[in-house]
Amino acid sequence: MKSLWNTYKNHKAAQAIFLLIYIGVTSLSLFLAQKSVTAFLLLLASLLMLYFTNFKNLTKWLIAFVVLVFLLPFTASHGDGYQAYMEVATLVGIYIAMALGLNIVVGMAGLLDLGFVAFFAVGAYTYGIFATPQAANFMPFGHYPLSGASFWGLIIVGCLVAALFGILIGVPVLRVKGDYLAIVTLGFGEIIRIVFNNLDKPINITNGAMGIASITPPKLFGMEFIYPSQFYYIVLVILIFTIFTVLRFEHSKIGRSWKAIRENEIAAQAMGIPLVKTKLTAFAIGASFSGMMGVVFAAKQTFVDPTSFTLLESFTILVMVVLGGMGSVPGVILGAAVMTILNLQVLTELTNWLNQLTLSGAVHIPEALSPSKMQRFLFGGLLILFALYRPQGLIPAKNKQFDEEKLKKGKSATDQIISNTVHEEKAQV
């Protein structure tokens, strides 16, 4: 069996045939059984299988693009569960983007941030205030609410405002380290939530605990975005941009600086890395992704209030990063997807099934022990198991591999060029 598996791993044609059959069967299953959550989840699992194939990165991106843009929406669109599936997929994308932002701060730079949901709240309120008459209470110019066409510009504004808040929070926070850093960021996250909760006096900016309702939906070419299936494509575009940006940062100079600071601040500073500037960059970039998704969340829900941005949400996003693998982009994507799907679909469907058994008299499950009520208990147990038996996460972070022979050849060629240049300069002198 092991030799057969090794043969399969090294055989691209076999992988392509199996993956094609798997995607075809799961797509057909979802098309024929519209209420089958299992078929929906199995189709999404094809993306995980795709990651472990030996195809080129461009091929993997193209296949994933076809599955997410065409196959998944089309096969799920022929039944009553279409919008429910798209709602789950949209929220998965939102949480993945936030988890990737937190991964920059925690996984790459090594800065434990327990108030990350505050940046999500900043983005949501940025759109919520200006897309309702709320802004007229303190803005001396302009007509409010802004039209739905302003949504596309406010995504960028929400990104920049969240990045600014990341810098403002980071400046005083970076004076402390370790556990004290976690405590201070936790405090800042709660401060922002409480400020939004009480910012209805003396000038009503956020409408306090009542929240902001009737937020103007986005518009594009005269079409209003009001359904989850429409927001799914918005989230998908932002998510692709986020993943591409994070991957570019990871292997850039700033990404290597973050990792150096994470491993040893003193050694990093001795190598000439500016600690404060590099850490603030991590806070700002991580916060910007969360701010963009906050704008989308506010537009999708058409309502925001402080209860959506509690400390528990920050912990949930942190668990996604830890579960997937700190510092690992594919790991964080998988961790966020698993946590969100467990929360929104698996536990909900399991609870409904047990309730039906209870009503039919087959079994009796107390309401307090239903899976939806035990959600945090199950997540906590899952996190403990991974901390004990797989501390590096579902997909551990991997350092970029370099070919030693190519590096030696490159070094020899460089030395030869330098030597020739020196000889030429001596000859000219």
Q: Considering only residues 171 and 407, tell me which one the structure prediction assigns the higher pLDDT.
A: 171
Statement: residue 276 has pLDDT above 80 = yes
pLDDT: is 156 or 373 the higher one? 156
Q: For residue 233, give both structure tokens.
A: 């494509």
Type of residue numbered 405:
E
Indicate the residue type of 163. Answer: A
* pLDDT-derived band at 17, boundaries 50, 70, 90: confident
- State the average pLDDT over residues 62-83: 86
> What percent of the chain lies above the pLDDT cut of 90?
21
Out of 137-141, 280-284, 408-412, which region has the weakest mean confidence (pLDDT)? Answer: 408-412
Q: Is the pLDDT of residue 160 over 90?
A: yes
Give every CB contact of residue 298 below 8 A, 6+ residues apart in sequence.
123, 124, 125, 127, 128, 131, 215, 304
Range picked from 167-176, 188-197, 348-357 for highest mean pLDDT:
188-197
Better-scored residue on pLDDT, 302 or 14: 302
Higher pLDDT, residue 371 or 214: 214
Give residue 419's pLDDT band: very low, low, confident or very high (50, 70, 90): low
CA distance 228 to 235: 10
Stretch 136-158: mean pLDDT: 86
Q: DSSP for 118-148?
A: HHHHHHHHHHHHHTSGGGGGT-SSS-SSPPG
Confidence of residue 348 (pLDDT cuts 50, 70, 90): confident
Statement: residue 5 has pLDDT above 60: no
| Residue 178 confidence (pLDDT) | 76
pLDDT(415) > 60: no
Query: pLDDT for 212-260, tens place per residue?
Result: 888 888 988 878 888 888 889 999 999 999 999 999 998 888 989 999 9
pLDDT band at 411, cuts 50/70/90?
Answer: low
Confidence of residue 104 (pLDDT cuts 50, 70, 90): very high
Q: What is the mean pLDDT of residues 192-210?
A: 87
Is the model more confident about 349 or about 47?
Answer: 47
3-state helix, strand, coil in the chain (%, to 5): 75, 0, 25
Of residues 425 and 381, more confidence is placed in 381
**Cβ atoms 123, 289 nearer than 8 A:** no
Of the ranges 45-49, 77-81, 136-140, 409-413, which one carries the lowest mean pLDDT score?
409-413
Q: What is the pTM for the complete model shown?
A: 0.88
Predicted local confidence at residue 77, as pLDDT: 81
Does position 285 have pLDDT exceeding 90, yes or no? yes
pLDDT of 1 > 60? The answer is: no
**What count of other Cβ atoms lies within 10 Å of the Cβ of residue 416?**
10
Full 3-state SS string of 272-284: CCCHHHHHHHHHH
Instruction: Give residue 79's pLDDT band: very low, low, confident or very high (50, 70, 90).
Output: confident
pLDDT at position 427 is: 58
Contact between 32 and 76 under an 8 Å Cβ cutoff? The reply is no
Angle between helices 82-102 and 228-250 (to 10 degrees): 20
Kindly report, residue by residue over 286-309, the tens digit of the pLDDT: 999 999 999 999 999 888 998 888
Q: Over 70: is that where the pLDDT of 346 sits? A: yes
pLDDT band at 423 (very low <50, low <70, confident <90, very high): low
Q: State the pLDDT at residue 428.
A: 58
What is the tens place of the pLDDT at every residue in 375-403? 777 777 877 887 788 888 888 877 766 55
The residue among 175 and 68 whose pLDDT is bigger is 68
How sure is the predictor about 8, in pLDDT bands with cuts at 50, 70 and 90? low
